Structure 1
Amino acid sequence: MAQPGDPRRLYRLVQEGRLRALQEELQAAGGCPGPAGDTLLHCAARHGHRDVLAYLAEAWGMDIEATNRDYKRPLHEAASMGHRDCVRYLLGRGAAVDCLKKADWTPLMMACTRKNLGVIQELVEHGANPLLKNKDGWNSFHIASREGDPLILQYLLTVCPDAWKTESKIRRTPLHTAAMHGHLEAVKVLLKRCQYEPDYGDNCGVTPLMDAIQCGHIDVARLLLDEHGEGHTSTIQTLLSLGADINSKDEKNRSALHLACAGQHLACAKFLLQSGLKDSEDVTGTLAQQLPRRADVLQGSGHSAMT
């Protein structure tokens, strides 16, 4: 059984938010042990116990800038777990808003891994810089694009209009990331408020459209095609050369041919047919050949191969 003052018991009391019991334990022990990893402040911030956090910082004078083995500070913990009251308290006591943990992650970057606009606003209003990058070249806007919350993206673009002008060390943009993860509403925001080049490729030549198609996000791919127009036959060629399955379908049993026909992309439809893709019904029983709005879209494009 853990004895009074035992670090394991102290951490359990902090985790459970039992402030009175913690006060008694610390007073009996004559202070707080100094664990090599997380401090009690880290634990309180991680679990969102502002009262415990305040007691430890004020009554015992614990260092709010203490770091653990990953160089995380209590502010990183509070931000990553979405505890706005703890974030506000730590910032109010002078915590460094853009402190770095291992791999150069700031508290704002950590907050952007969660869909918690309030915490992000708190950090930005206290001076957090959305343009800082981690070791992989991602800034906070890039990280937010991976999570795909359109309100957070809109907010970051409002407070920092140039946040979208970024790419990772392998030249991937926030649009690549949002498309790969299938965040349709996020992609809409990026296309409306940012000026991404239609065929911007990463170090491997992969474009956002390729990411969307390879990951089966047909709605996102259709949006990118509609936004950027035709001329994506070369994209399809590249995908096939990279080993993409021409016969792959999404959850609605739609093929790439459905996408091309629905978007009225004659060149793409023709290339897919010439590459051996056969028409088939989606879950509603609709064939790709039924989707073109113009009668001439499939003329001369191998229409007979579709039936």
Structure 2
Amino acid sequence: MSHRKYMAEAENQKKLLRLIQEGRLDLFKEELQRDENMTKEVRRKHYGKSGDTLMHYAARHGHLNVLTHLVETLEMDIEMFNNDYKRPLHEAASMGHKDCVLYLLDKGAEIDCLKKADWTPLMMACTRKNMEVIKDLIEHGANPLLKNKDGWNCFHIASREGDPQIIQYLLTVSPSSWNTESKIKRTPLHTAAMHGCFDVVKTLLERCQYEPDSRDKCGVTPFMDAIQNGHIDIARLLLEKYKEGHTSTIQTLLSLGADLHAKDGKNRSALHMACAGQHAACVWILLQAGLQDSLDDTGTFARQLAKKPDVLQLFKGISVSA
């Protein structure tokens, strides 16, 4: 093939992709009518580094009319996958295109197909906080308990995104979905606390039976996650939840991270994390709760990590002892 012809074909392919992305079906049809060989080629062609097909582009951009044409006129396979093993259903679910999701399901798309890292369409939908698409997938048989390669199920993902209505819905249709840990032993409560999802943390504490002092493989609890990331409102919520369930003194805070005195794998306390993050309000709460400064495995006190004046001020008048 001559260089000129190769360049011309490349331009034609770019044009077709642009028309699909823009949903200009009439112009797309006109282009194919000019070249019968092109019609045959686009049915099986994968584009670019991602290896997407025209089906992927149509589903991703939510053009149902284009998707219908590709399936029913060009007879493209709805299960074609790209280099990451994504199917068109993954794309439609990920971007929240309800009509495309329902069309693909009606045409028999595999509901729990796996892309790279074992993500299902339902997991993808949970990243977008689109309740309607999540409901459609579950009502068509999607399994909310499946886990990806990191050990996350869709409940974990929804907890990270922070929509309490989706959390409530998932707990209704799959009551055990909360009871899960990732491969590094992180629960959805860890995830919600880390990402500052206050309303989700509140829902999880109300409806789920998490062990409040549950530690991941690094020894971090949800309480420590909240402190480390400066989510003072969540730290308070977790501490209050603990106090409601126990009547003993602060020295017995053996729950919730509350073993307030819990240490991670490097012997760092929640106070170390709060000081490292320069979160003055969190440091104040910990000191008020009675947490004493201590040495980590490197011989460092938490106060030595404090840099900001408002954090340093909190330690004035407090003696340090190993």
Tell me if both proteins adopt one fold, taking TM over 0.5 as the criterion: yes
Between the aligned partners of 1:173 and 1:142, the Cα distance in structure 2 is 7
1:11 aligns with 2:36: no
Between the aligned partners of 1:50 and 1:276, the Cα distance in structure 2 is 57
Between the aligned partners of 1:56 and 1:246, the Cα distance in structure 2 is 55
Which residue is 2:162 aligned to? 148
The alpha-carbon deviation at position 152 of structure 1 amounts to 0.7
| Contact residue 249 and residue 255 of structure 1 kept, 8 A | no
| Contact residue 5 and residue 29 of structure 1 kept, 8 A | no
Q: Structure 1 residues 224, 130: CA separation in 2 closer, same or farther (over 3 Å shift)? A: same
**Residue ranges of structure 1 left out of the alignment (5+ in a row):** 289-301
Q: Which runs of 4+ in 1 moved over 3 A?
A: 1-5, 232-237, 245-251, 258-261, 272-277, 302-306
Which residue is 2:267 aligned to? 241
Between the aligned partners of 1:241 and 1:111, the Cα distance in structure 2 is 38
The alpha-carbon deviation at position 2 of structure 1 amounts to 5.0
| Contact residue 5 and residue 28 of structure 1 kept, 8 A | no
The alpha-carbon deviation at position 179 of structure 1 amounts to 0.6
Q: How does 1:1-307 map to 2 (within 5 A)?
A: 2=8, 6-30=12-36, 31-33=39-41, 34-36=44-46, 37-229=51-243, 230=250, 231=253, 234-236=259-261, 238=263, 241-242=267-268, 244-245=272-273, 247=275, 253-258=280-285, 261=288, 265=289, 267-268=290-291, 271=292, 305=318
Which residue is 2:298 aligned to? none
Q: Structure 1 residues 273, 257: CA separation in 2 closer, same or farther (over 3 Å shift)? A: farther
Q: Structure 1 residues 60, 303: CA separation in 2 closer, same or farther (over 3 Å shift)? A: closer
Between the aligned partners of 1:281 and 1:8, the Cα distance in structure 2 is 57
Q: Deviations over 1:172-206 (max 9, x none)?
A: 11001111111111101111111000101111221
2:71 match: secondary structure: helix
1:241 match: secondary structure: coil
Q: Which amino acid aligns with 1:6?
A: N
**Residue ranges of structure 2 left out of the alignment (5+ in a row):** 1-6, 244-249, 296-300
1:6 match: secondary structure: helix
Please provide the CA RMSD for this pair. 3.0
Aligned residues: 282
Between the aligned partners of 1:304 and 1:260, the Cα distance in structure 2 is 12
Q: Deviations over 1:36-61 (max 9, x none)?
A: 31110100000110110011111111
